[in-house]
């Protein structure tokens, strides 16, 4: 049965079924106390509830594409989210509301949407992981983020021991975060997306994508063209999983783009004098989002940097820290610290990790 996890690293498959490295895109992470596979929402609730009753809160793991798990692993149980399916709840001439199971592979859902003529997630093509994890960090790329289309999230609330639906307001979506990130109170069971019924994409906002499509920013293109262009751009950066390519053994971007107030941005510009202004995007309230990749590169950490301990910056993208095959979480975090501290020394800006760190710290 296909599932949300990536290919195991060896043809022989996992030797220890508790080895979490077999369930993460970094291929890193020690063993879990137990690993339970939950194939529907009832099983998810059952395993999470049973673990709590045993006094050992369960860790929820889906595609393993946004977690860094310590080499010692996690002592308690891990629940693998493997529920599947997507169903249309409502349909009008203009829109559909689709409920997607938490364990549905995200990119398969995007492919389904593009084939069906549902517009609104096409620029999120090629992102690994599960549909249920997309609200956690408000997954985004190429000018789209899931907060624009999510109309409800069904959760199991560990605190109240109840299942309920949360509104987008309650989810408190923001840039690469939400109420769910770094807070394991809620387990996502399914996500409702409201998508436009159209064979045309949403207006293309991202300059690099517009250029690849040879259109102006704000233009619409056929959904299939948008998906193909996004996947091609991503593949060129090692941002589409490929078991044979170590540049994709990552969590995608390791650091978020820093968001600076006006004073901090001016300070950064003085530090960058002589090498040009960093690529930046204006945000609400005078805030400025700055390219973390540029800061890292200009601090001397270029593509391919590293190699000690079997980890290195991807050869295709400065923001991706990768396992070259023999890496460890300890070595990966050493590299991340070196980069974070080097960028701070050079530009006075502190980078923050995008993935969730489990039983390890930066």
Ligand X SMILES: Cc1cc2nc3c(=O)[nH]c(=O)nc-3n(C[C@H](O)[C@H](O)[C@H](O)COP(=O)(O)OP(=O)(O)OC[C@H]3O[C@@H](n4cnc5c(N)ncnc54)[C@H](O)[C@@H]3O)c2cc1C
Residue 138 CB, nearest distance to ligand X (Å)? 7
How many CA atoms lie less than 13 Å away from 298 in the CB half-sphere? 23
**Cα–Cα dist 220/254, whole Å:** 31
Could you tell me how far CA 280 lies from the centroid of its own chain? 21
Long-range CB pairs of 305-310, under 8 A, 24+ apart, other chains included? 306/335, 308/334, 308/335, 309/334, 309/335
Could you tell me how far CA 199 lies from the centroid of its own chain? 26
Catalytic residues: 176, 253, 354
Q: Is the separation of the CB atoms in 320 and 247 below 8 Å?
A: yes
Residue 266 CB, nearest distance to ligand X (Å)? 29
Q: Is the separation of the CB atoms in 248 and 25 below 8 Å?
A: yes
**Cα–Cα dist 45/38, whole Å:** 9
Q: Is the separation of the CB atoms in 69 and 328 below 8 Å?
A: no
**Cα–Cα dist 165/151, whole Å:** 10
Closer by beta carbon to ligand X, 130 or else 323:
130
Closer by beta carbon to ligand X, 161 or else 341:
161
Non-local (6+) Cβ contacts of 247 within 8 A are 238, 314, 315, 316, 317, 320, 322
Closer by beta carbon to ligand X, 103 or else 347:
103
Residue with tokens 């044979």: 244
Residue 234 CB, nearest distance to ligand X (Å)? 7
Closer by beta carbon to ligand X, 119 or else 125:
125
Closer by beta carbon to ligand X, 19 or else 81:
81
Residue 317 CB, nearest distance to ligand X (Å)? 9
Closer by beta carbon to ligand X, 63 or else 278:
63
Residue 63 CB, nearest distance to ligand X (Å)? 3
Angle between helix 262-271 and helix 329-347 axes, rounded to 10 deg: 90
Residues binding ligand X (CB under 6 A): 4, 25, 60-67, 81, 102, 127-130, 132-134, 136-137, 139-141, 187-188, 239, 241, 248, 250-252, 356
Kindly calculate the radius of gyration of the chain based on its CA atoms and give it in whole angstroms. Answer: 20
């Amino acid at each position: 049965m296909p599932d949300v996890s990536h290919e195991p690293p060896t043809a022989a498959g996992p030797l220890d079924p508790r080895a979490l490295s077999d369930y993460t895109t970094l291929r890193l992470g020690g063993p879990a106390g137990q690993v339970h596979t939950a194939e529907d929402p009832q099983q998810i609730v059952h395993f999470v509830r049973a673990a709590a009753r045993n006094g050992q809160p369960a860790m929820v793991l889906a595609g393993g594409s946004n977690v860094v798990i310590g080499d010692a692993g996690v002592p308690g149980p891990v629940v693998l989210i493997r529920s599947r399916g997507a169903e249309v709840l409502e349909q009008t001439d203009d829109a559909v509301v689709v409920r997607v199971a938490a364990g549905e592979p995200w990119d398969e859902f995007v492919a389904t949407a593009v084939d069906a003529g549902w517009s609104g997630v096409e620029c999120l093509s090629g992102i690994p992981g599960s549909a249920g994890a997309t609200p956690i960090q408000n997954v985004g790329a190429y000018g789209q983020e899931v907060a624009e289309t999510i109309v409800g999230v069904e959760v199991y609330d560990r605190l109240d021991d109840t299942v309920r639906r949360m509104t987008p307001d309650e989810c408190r979506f923001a840039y690469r975060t939400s109420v769910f990130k770094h807070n394991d109170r809620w387990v996502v069971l399914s996500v409702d997306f409201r998508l436009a019924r159209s064979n045309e994409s949403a207006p293309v906002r991202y300059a690099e994508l517009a250029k690849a499509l040879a259109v102006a920013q704000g233009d619409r293109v056929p959904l299939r063209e948008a998906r193909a262009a996004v996947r091609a751009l991503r593949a060129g950066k090692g941002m589409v999983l490929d078991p044979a390519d170590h540049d994709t053994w990552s969590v995608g971007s390791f650091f978020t783009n820093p968001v600076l107030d006006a004073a901090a941005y001016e300070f950064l510009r003085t530090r960058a004098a002589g090498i040009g202004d960093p690529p930046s995007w204006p945000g609400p309230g005078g805030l400025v989002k700055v390219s973390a990749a540029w800061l890292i590169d200009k601090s001397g950490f270029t593509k391919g940097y590293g190699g000690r301990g079997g980890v290195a910056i991807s050869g295709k993208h400065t923001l991706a820290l990768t396992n070259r095959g023999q890496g460890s979480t300890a070595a990966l975090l050493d590299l991340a610290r070196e980069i974070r501290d080097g960028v701070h020394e050079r530009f006075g800006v502190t980078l923050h990790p995008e993935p969730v760190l489990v039983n390890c710290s930066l």
